[in-house]
A and B are shown apart, each in its own frame.
Chain A
């Protein structure tokens, strides 16, 4: 994804949701896309699938899939990419599934659209195998059940099965475990990792949970107010974050190790994207801001092998939280 610009036209004016987002997901890796509410994480995911709402426009940029530009395809070609090459799962599995059809029917519908095989028997076999893949016990009876008869964790497994049924090369997972309890989250994270390894799947994992990305992701991209501020390997992001926002974000996470200490926080709030700040969008909240930050937006530059930062005045003081 290169220099993607997405605007939303609303009654209050134009919301500059994505302001030149560049990202890449490598084959077989899990890239974590992290940021606070309203920073453009979900818009990024939807833009890749061209699922953005009608009041939006992609004003600029390119999205390439295996070297092939996918932004300007015809509707027909889009359908072949969406679902077949790129699939997506969402935060709330209950609202993604149709409550009036049994699981099997919904899974078979998707399989019919995306597969050459048309006879019921081989489709059922395929559906069965996909449910086994996401480790749902007793797939035959699961297929007879309606969504409300499944727990949240099982519903999300069904969503994963539907998403993976057409063997996509990229899975976009938008807060897949946020609505679930921690013990269920743990089950799904293990599954996601396993699927990545066995299927060679690439995953764009959208989340605000830094703990989840630390455990699961190979690389992490940090987003703030519509742009990507820092990208690096997971270990580097946590051991040597260079963007002031990344540092602020990581140090705001509350853990027992901080007991007795005053918690660090980022002053101010995320700006409205109707009127984003000039220059670096983080500068009004940044304690390292200099004159240049107010005037122009810093570019995302490679400061070390594979470590990209968009900042004019990277903090030089040592990072305390390992």
Chain B
């Protein structure tokens, strides 16, 4: 029934740390460390984690906006990381990205029409009249009126600007869209509008999303599958019900319990307060990288051995010695 659209295998993105007199590489920041998962067609895949956990680097590596160190990203049968520039350009029509801050993504010296025209000019050979027609069609799709075509981004509100970014991402009929914190810079009332729009578009156009966010409310509302990242690795992955109703990894448990809820459902009594902060990815702890903060530390094995991502039940995988010990 479900068909895999994007397959990510053993993806690693390391950034060199240079130092010393000759600026030699003296170590690596393992921003993405051996990550693998599949994104099914028509699904919304959520990627959560705290700042510095590698979410954005992972997304950019998948789209090859950053060159990963090693691994495979298979899209439509071809490995994005292996193809030559021309093939990559052709493939890029199919995967687009929407960033957190719409004003930084939109050139302030271009009109909305020209912003939307850019991808059309780069990838197609349609006439200027056609471009205007297509641009206004796209604006309507994202709930903006035709008169916005001739505006500059500074004349738009945050919500409107983000709609333009969505319109531009959809200009070439992509099948896969990465949404990197698409609502984090917006006020709550506007955030809800954009989420409604994204959900509607996904249904209507049969899109597949990779949604990156630190807002767990948004994730629980929208996604089908969730991967939780900590220091460049996936610690737990599963469908949203499993993760949100019954998180297995101690980090997932703490993350979920840390969110103050408007519904008053957070059990303040059972809240897990983690010690300390996320360690530097340049010098991660040994063994399980979460062990110094873990509230379920079971002994030397956590400190010494790196847990692998093992199946727990039919659809879930967890990287924790609590489960591999049994």
Contacts and interface: CB of A to CB of B under 8 A. Distances in A.
State whether these chains interact: yes
Nearest to B53: A181
Given A152-B277, A211-B261, A256 B244 contact: yes
Interface in B78-123: none
B226 to A, nearest CB: 11
Contacts, number: 117
A154 B259 contact: no
B274 A265 contact: no
Interface string A308-322: 000000000000011
Interface string A143-159: 00000000111100000
Interface residues of A, number: 44
Interface of B: 50-51, 157, 159, 187-193, 195-196, 214-218, 220-222, 240, 244, 254-255, 257-266, 268, 271, 273-274, 276-278
Interface string A241-254: 00000001110111
Given A182-B50, A183-B255, A211-B260, A254 B221 contact: yes
Interface string A77-119: 0000000000000000000000000000000000000000000
Contact of A208 (B188, B222, B257): B188
A214 B262 CA distance: 6
B273 A187 contact: yes
Contact of A183 (B50, B217, B240): B50
A182 B50 CA distance: 8
Contacts of A256: 217, 220-221, 240, 244
Contact of B258 (A153, A183, A321): A183
Contact of A259 (B159, B189, B221, B257): B221
Contacts of B189: 36, 248-249, 252, 265-266
A322 B262 CA distance: 9
A212 interface: yes
A238 interface: yes
Contacts of A212: 260
Contacts of B214: 181-182
